[in-house]
Amino acid sequence: MARIDLVDLAHSYDGGNADPSSFALKPTSMTWRQGGAYALLGPSGCGKTTLLNIISGIVKPSRGKVLFDGRDVMALTTQQRNIAQVFQFPVIYDTMTVGENLAFPLKNRGVGRAEIDARVHEIAKLLDLVPQLDRKASRLTADAKQKISLGRGLVRADVAAVLFDEPLTVIDPALKWELRSKLKVLHRALDLTMIYVTHDQTEALTFADTVVVMHEGSVVQTGTPEELFLRPDHTFVGYFIGSPGMNVLPAEVEGRQARIAGHELSLARSYGGLPPGARIEVGIRPEFVSLAAAAPGLLAARIERIDDLGRSRFAHVRVGDLKIAARVPRGLSLGGNEAGLIFEPAHIHVYADQRRVEGAA
């Protein structure tokens, strides 16, 4: 296990000649705590795999370095970096049994027989693979094979980190749920540093203690699932995480007042020195906007549709050209499509050029 520091890393696939704004990975510095469960979350093409491959040594970055426990590993190969990797598709030997597959990474490192047996059994037990240990891997389904790949990634206790690149893509949805929570249990049991790459927010939020959100080659926020939900640092985090995503609305902001579509809203904090010329927006999650009967003083909205998600209902409304999602309180009955919106001031954030501005008390 190791603490991993990324120091001013940047990468462009054309050898660093491109305009920095088009880098696959823009300048990034951060620390991955020893023993942490991280998710690297972002849409396709945002640079997740590039970052993962730089950590493992598959890609040599155009700039910057990677440290494992303070030691520069840039000259080391993946094998020398002592990283375990689990990919999207199973990487196992069909001619071997499940047990032999799990034992393989340990045998390769010259671990003794007794230790191999104990570790293989521990991992097989955690992944419910004990009954299949003596079966030939070739006879298993794609799901079961991917479970073995996960096991092979987790079997060594001495790795610097385990990197997962979208490991549940080929897994059947029902088993996906099971494996996702199992990985969390495995993390606690094995005390390994794990970095889990995904574009799926549910996967990221269920697995990780810390989620690193990437957007267009940059890390835009690193935080707990709760922090990402309650205080998105970037408008992208607001609408990428959450379902429906955060409402991001053009606004004029002065002190403790915001004006949206000509309507005055009170803010919980004061925003004095917003950068001149910046695009100002307010962000509020649908959970903190309530639909109500139209009334003077409320922002007037026209309901387009209501989605019933079982435990909660969300209305999709229009205010002029703006689209807003709002929570529908239990028991609310409305005559027609006209309604009012009530905003919770404590949950309204102000953004300048997509970055959250910290207001003053």
- In the complex, minimum distance from the CB of residue 320 to ligand ATP, in angstroms, rounded to a whole number: 35
Please provide the size of the chain in residues: 361
List, in sequence order, every residue forming a beta bridge with 325; answer none if it has no partner.
Answer: 316
Nearer to ligand ATP, 4 or 155 (CB): 4
- In the complex, minimum distance from the CB of residue 46 to ligand ATP, in angstroms, rounded to a whole number: 4
Rounded CA separation 129/147 (Å): 8
Instruction: Show the binding pattern over residues 16-55: x = contacts ligand ATP (CB under 6 A), - = does not.
Output: --------x-----------------x-xxxxxxx-----
Work out whether strand 37-41 and strand 210-215 pair parallel, antiparallel, or are unpaired: parallel
- In the complex, minimum distance from the CB of residue 267 to ligand ATP, in angstroms, rounded to a whole number: 35
Nearer to ligand ATP, 44 or 333 (CB): 44
- CB-side neighbour CA atoms (13 Å) of 1: 15
**Residue 221 in contact with ligand ATP, rule: CB under 6 A:** no
Q: What are phi and psi of 147, to 5 degrees?
A: -65, -40
Instruction: Show the binding pattern over residues 86-125: x = contacts ligand ATP (CB under 6 A), - = does not.
Output: ----------------------------------------
Nearer to ligand ATP, 50 or 290 (CB): 50
- In the complex, minimum distance from the CB of residue 166 to ligand ATP, in angstroms, rounded to a whole number: 7
Residues of span 288-317 touching ligand ATP by CB under 6 A? none
Closest of 101, 118, 183 to residue 157, by C-alpha = 118
Q: Under a CB-based contact definition with an 8 Å cutoff, are residues 180 and 146 in contact?
A: no
Nearer to ligand ATP, 13 or 107 (CB): 13
Q: Under a CB-based contact definition with an 8 Å cutoff, are residues 301 and 318 in contact?
A: yes
Nearer to ligand ATP, 103 or 211 (CB): 211
- Reduced to 3 states (helix: H, G, I; strand: E, B; else coil), residue 276 is coil
- In the complex, minimum distance from the CB of residue 39 to ligand ATP, in angstroms, rounded to a whole number: 13
Nearer to ligand ATP, 106 or 197 (CB): 197
Instruction: Show the binding pattern over residues 146-185: x = contacts ligand ATP (CB under 6 A), - = does not.
Output: ----------------------------------------
CA distances from 329 to 149, 284, 302, 306, 340 (A): 46, 17, 16, 12, 12
Rounded CA separation 240/229 (Å): 10
Output the CA angle 356-359-361, nearest 5 degrees: 155
Q: Under a CB-based contact definition with an 8 Å cutoff, are residues 299 and 261 in contact?
A: yes
Pick one of 119, 187, 199, 327: the residue that binds ligand ATP (CB under 6 A).
199
Closest of 210, 98, 192, 182 to residue 144, by C-alpha = 98
- In the complex, minimum distance from the CB of residue 47 to ligand ATP, in angstroms, rounded to a whole number: 4
Closest of 89, 56, 98 to residue 167, by C-alpha = 89
Number of residues that bind ligand ATP (CB under 6 A): 11
- In the complex, minimum distance from the CB of residue 218 to ligand ATP, in angstroms, rounded to a whole number: 11
Provide the binding-site residues for ligand ATP, judged by CB under 6 A: 13, 24, 42, 44-50, 199
